[in-house]
Structure 1
Amino acid sequence: MAQLLTLDDNEVHIWRTDICQLSPELVASYLPLMSEQEQQRNRRFRSEQSRVADMITRVFARTVLSHYADIEPADWTFSQGEHGKPEVSNQGIKLRFNLSHSSKMVACAVSRSHAIGLDIEYIKRKNDVLAIADRYFSKLELNALFSLPVDQQQDRFFDYWTLKEAYIKADGRGISLGLGNFSFAIENADTISISFSDRIQQDPTAWQFRLVYPDPDHCMALAVQGHQQDLLVRQFETVPLKPKSSC
């Protein structure tokens, strides 16, 4: 086992992997690392593409978590939290995590104890994202979005969208919250605030958010529940179980 990484209470680590770097042979080696329940779920996917994406995501989480505890990837166990969110259930392990994937990238955020949510989106899609905004965004967000120059609106749409997805994942209640019942104000990638309608009884100061742009094609958003003012976000890239090249 390699030396374990330190993860302080005020830290969140974000890991990502480029799916295109994973050979079919490497992906095939992931299956035995999944639990029997995960394998049964994987077999229910109708398309090969969906099965592969699910396999990569599950094993990616396992290999990432093994950077923080002396546990082999195959030995991690998980349970469902109050709202069905996966949680580590290995005895004595204090770790929180959240997964997200696009068509080309998988990402995993890890925290020692804070509720977290992560979303990653491929931002070069050709669909009419502004029509989606008109349906799901709050009035405050729509006003801010459409006040921007036209050539900046699509990128800002994905800023809002990933932040919304990250928040509802961190909260755990998902889409039932109603995407228009909370609003984001974005000053820059590290200065982001949230406000709530009367339907959501939460303290907006109890949340922190970050936007991350791993490459020109993707946007990531992180939501962290906690009042800590010195939140440190570190990023890592990896290829799960990639064989070491020989000399």
Structure 2
Amino acid sequence: MSTPDIRPLHLGPGEIHVWSARDPQIDDAALLALYRSWLSAEETERMQRFMFERDRHQYLVTRALLRSTLSLYAPWVAPQQWVFASNAWGKPAIAAPAVPMAFNLSHTEGLVALALTLESSVGIDVEPRQRLADLDLAERFFSASEVRYLSSLPAADQGALFMTLWTLKEAYIKARGQGLSIPLDSFSFELATPGQIGFSCRTLAPSEAQRWRFWQWEHGPFVLSLGCCPPSRHSPGMAVQLYETVPGRPHAPRSAVMCRLSHRQGQPLVPGWRA
């Protein structure tokens, strides 16, 4: 089966493109067969190991989203030709062909998300917005300042704030690519100022911590967080564009409610989301 003729895209320096797909809505048999034709033998074997059909389906859509989207930016590479490898902590990257793109994936029930950039450090996490707060988990793993802020809120607001912090922390961990070898209480997010994300990390020099940029959206019933570190402290910032797609079919820009982003002097909260 061939890939439909879809307009290629360009990814420039200082840009992050975030893609999402609603996997439960993708049920066309011919399209799913196309996705399976793109998988490597290892991916096919891994997919078959999932016990439940919904998990096999989401895995298939996730890999199709990654492979087909990469080919939008490198149209000379067919989706089935991409080869991936993971580092010692399990963070995947492109192994072949030699195309200078970095990516990160996340999924939750009902949504898969992909972040693409030319930078080397990008992390994305998506979770349901409405979830019970786990204060015990927060006290065990969050920083002291995060726990104090979470505990100070009315009980009705703690669930959403817990997921706000959790997805930001996951995005940072995934961007660093070192898994839970980075203690979750070694870095902290500050959310007291509406619309803004503050960040500090006791294992980074202040100048390095200040380079990190974070964004967060409400994406329907989901919260989506993104983190990236520009290659230089002199970088003018990172601009983010959202897309929604069904892998292998035409895509469209995606609008979502911006909740907050890293504050930079003179940078308004407007479309383009440069931080």
Shorter-chain TM-score above 0.5 = yes
Matched, 1:230 2:237: yes
- The ranges of structure 1 where at least 4 consecutive aligned residues each deviate by more than 4 angstroms after the TM superposition are none
Paired with 1:102 and 1:167, the residues of 2 have a C-alpha distance of: 18
Instruction: Indicate the percent of aligned positions where both proteins have the same amino acid.
Output: 34
What's the Cα RMSD here?
2.0
Give yes or no for contact 2:217–2:224 (8 Å, CA) kept in 1. yes
Deviation of the 1:154 alpha carbon: 1.6
> Hey, what does 1:149 align to over in structure 2?
154
1:183 to 180, 183, 188: 188
Identify unmatched segments of 5+ residues in structure 2: 251-275
> Hey, what does 1:15 align to over in structure 2?
19
SS at match of 2:115: strand
TM-score by length of 1: 0.89
Paired with 2:249 and 2:175, the residues of 1 have a C-alpha distance of: 30
> Hey, what does 1:34 align to over in structure 2?
39
Paired with 1:86 and 1:57, the residues of 2 have a C-alpha distance of: 13
Deviation of the 1:18 alpha carbon: 1.0
Q: 2:56 is aligned with what amino acid?
A: R
Paired with 2:105 and 2:210, the residues of 1 have a C-alpha distance of: 24
Q: 2:8 is aligned with what amino acid?
A: L
Q: 1:179 is aligned with what amino acid?
A: L
Q: 1:167 is aligned with what amino acid?
A: Y
Paired with 1:34 and 1:91, the residues of 2 have a C-alpha distance of: 16
> Hey, what does 1:240 align to over in structure 2?
247
Give yes or no for contact 2:123–2:227 (8 Å, CA) kept in 1. yes
Matched, 1:195 2:185: no
Matched, 1:53 2:58: yes
Matched, 1:158 2:155: no
Question: How many residues are paired up?
Answer: 239
SS at match of 2:248: coil
> Hey, what does 2:6 align to over in structure 1?
2
Give yes or no for contact 1:193–1:204 (8 Å, CA) kept in 2. no
Deviation of the 1:43 alpha carbon: 1.9
> Hey, what does 2:255 align to over in structure 1?
none
SS at match of 1:108: strand
Report Cα offsets for 1:13-32 as digits up to 9, x if no partner. Answer: 10001122111623343211
Paired with 2:47 and 2:126, the residues of 1 have a C-alpha distance of: 22
Paired with 1:81 and 1:39, the residues of 2 have a C-alpha distance of: 21
Deviation of the 1:82 alpha carbon: 5.0
Matched, 1:214 2:219: yes
Report Cα offsets for 1:105-145 as digits up to 9, x if no partner. Answer: 000000012310000001223x4433322222111111122
Deviation of the 1:241 alpha carbon: 2.2
Give yes or no for contact 1:193–1:208 (8 Å, CA) kept in 2. no
Paired with 1:220 and 1:201, the residues of 2 have a C-alpha distance of: 25
SS at match of 1:67: helix
> Hey, what does 2:104 align to over in structure 1?
98
> Hey, what does 2:142 align to over in structure 1?
137
Identify unmatched segments of 5+ residues in structure 1: none
> Hey, what does 1:75 align to over in structure 2?
81
Q: 1:110 is aligned with what amino acid?
A: L
CA change 1:132–1:24 in 2 (3 A) is farther
Report Cα offsets for 1:31-90 as digits up to 9, x if no partner. Answer: 111011111222222222222221111111111111211122111111223533111122
Paired with 2:70 and 2:185, the residues of 1 have a C-alpha distance of: 34
SS at match of 1:213: strand
